[in-house]
């Protein structure tokens, strides 16, 4: 049985069109060269477009059978002579622009052909749906919910009482959204839980007394949230996810957290309650952030780190506890030398 392909190449295009889409310059190759596929370097055949931006894949570039390659200026002479060269400022970004033109259906988790409100969906009569809203089979929309034009609620998703969802949003299968306000063009991938109560208890010898969580989750425009991520609503103020932020799968965001604009959180990051990320913060996978700390604007945190105190804007940090990377690297090298010395006879 042949392998199914869910996103077929729509049609042949020519190299000149690719260059226009990619904001690239044709360094080598004919304007009319036909491009009929996209592929990774090692699998590319005649007619395929590839990109190169990492020297770790130089061997694959040297043997690629592609027709054309998107590449930065500094790597243009590494491309084999039989492959057309498109020079761009950032090969990966140009690749993304071309793919978005070729495969627009891959830009959101909306199945082609689904539209309108399914007869097998449950929509409370007090909910408000603007024009062109899609509610798929098994989805539930609660009382007083408000869903904007062009938004899609996928199968078995649950939209709770009073939730507000903006325009052109996608709520994936099996998501639950409650006590939340979503802006425009927000994407929730399958299994996201947004707006459940946070982990708050007054602990004592008489037992742990639950503290009511009375805040909301505010998700601003153009946010994308990965599969099975959980975002708790605020305890006494709102949990906020800033405009343009991108969140990977399986991330935990606690109550009262404020995430700034255009942040990036990689898989399995955990943000404890009431911490603050300023704009453009990037955090590597499996990193934990303690509650009530602030990470300054533009800071970058390495994977598998622990942030236990405030971090200044613009720095690069890593380790347990997180510290400036130069200091971290020196400490790791010193420990390695001590360990090697301990093995000496």
Among all residues, which ones are annotated catalytic? 255
Burial class (CB within 10 angstroms; exposed 0-12, middle 13-18, buried 19+) of 4: exposed
Taking the C-alpha atoms of residue 320 and residue 301, their distance in angstroms, rounded to an integer, is 11
Hey, which bits of 32-145 come out as E strands? 34-35, 37-38, 48-52, 68-71, 84-87, 122-123, 128-129, 134-135, 140-141
* 35-41: long-range pairs with CB below 8 Å, 24+: 35/67, 35/68, 36/9, 36/12, 37/9, 38/9, 38/98, 38/99, 38/102, 39/66, 41/66
Q: Are 275 and 289 in contact (CB under 8 A)?
A: yes
In DSSP terms, which residues pair with 119 in a beta bridge? none
Provide the 3-class DSSP secondary structure of residue 150. Answer: coil
Q: Are 223 and 205 in contact (CB under 8 A)?
A: no
Taking the C-alpha atoms of residue 323 and residue 330, their distance in angstroms, rounded to an integer, is 11
At residue 50, φ and ψ (nearest 5 deg) are -130, 175
Report in angstroms the alpha-carbon separations of 316 from 10, 18, 322.
42, 36, 9
Q: Are 188 and 206 in contact (CB under 8 A)?
A: no
């Amino acid at each position: 049985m042949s392998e199914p392909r869910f996103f077929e190449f729509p049609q042949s295009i020519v190299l000149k069109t690719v260059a226009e889409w990619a904001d690239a310059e044709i360094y080598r190759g004919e304007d009319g060269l036909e491009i009929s596929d996209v592929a990774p370097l090692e699998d590319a055949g005649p007619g395929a477009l590839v990109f190169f931006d990492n020297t770790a894949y130089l061997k694959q570039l040297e043997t690629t059978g592609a027709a054309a390659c998107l590449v930065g200026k500094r790597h243009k002479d590494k491309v084999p002579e039989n492959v057309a060269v498109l020079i761009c400022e950032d090969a990966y970004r140009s690749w993304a622009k071309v793919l978005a033109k070729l495969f627009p259906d891959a830009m959101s988790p909306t199945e082609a052909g689904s539209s309108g409100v399914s007869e097998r969906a449950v929509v409370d009569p007090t909910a408000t749906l603007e024009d062109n809203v899609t509610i798929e089979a098994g989805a539930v929309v609660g009382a007083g919910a408000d869903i904007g034009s062009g938004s899609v609620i996928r199968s078995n998703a649950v939209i709770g009482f009073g939730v507000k969802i903006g325009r052109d949003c996608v709520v994936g299968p099996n998501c639950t959204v409650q006590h939340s306000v979503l802006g425009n063009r927000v994407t929730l991938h399958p299994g996201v839980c947004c707006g459940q109560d946070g982990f708050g208890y007054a602990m004592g010898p008489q037992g742990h007394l639950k503290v009511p969580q009375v805040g909301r989750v505010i998700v601003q425009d153009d946010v994308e949230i990965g599969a099975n991520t959980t975002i708790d609503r605020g305890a006494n103020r709102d949990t906020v996810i800033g405009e343009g932020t991108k969140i990977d799968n399986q991330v935990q965001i606690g109550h009262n957290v404020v995430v700034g604009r255009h942040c990036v959180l990689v898989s399995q990051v955990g943000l404890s309650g009431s911490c603050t990320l300023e704009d453009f913060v990037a955090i590597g996978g499996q990193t934990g952030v303690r509650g009530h700390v602030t990470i300054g604007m533009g800071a970058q945190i390495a994977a598998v780190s622990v942030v236990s105190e405030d971090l200044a804007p613009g720095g690069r940090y890593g380790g347990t506890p997180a510290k400036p990377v130069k200091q971290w690297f020196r400490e790791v090298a010193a420990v390695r030398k001590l360990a090697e010395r301990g093995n000496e006879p």
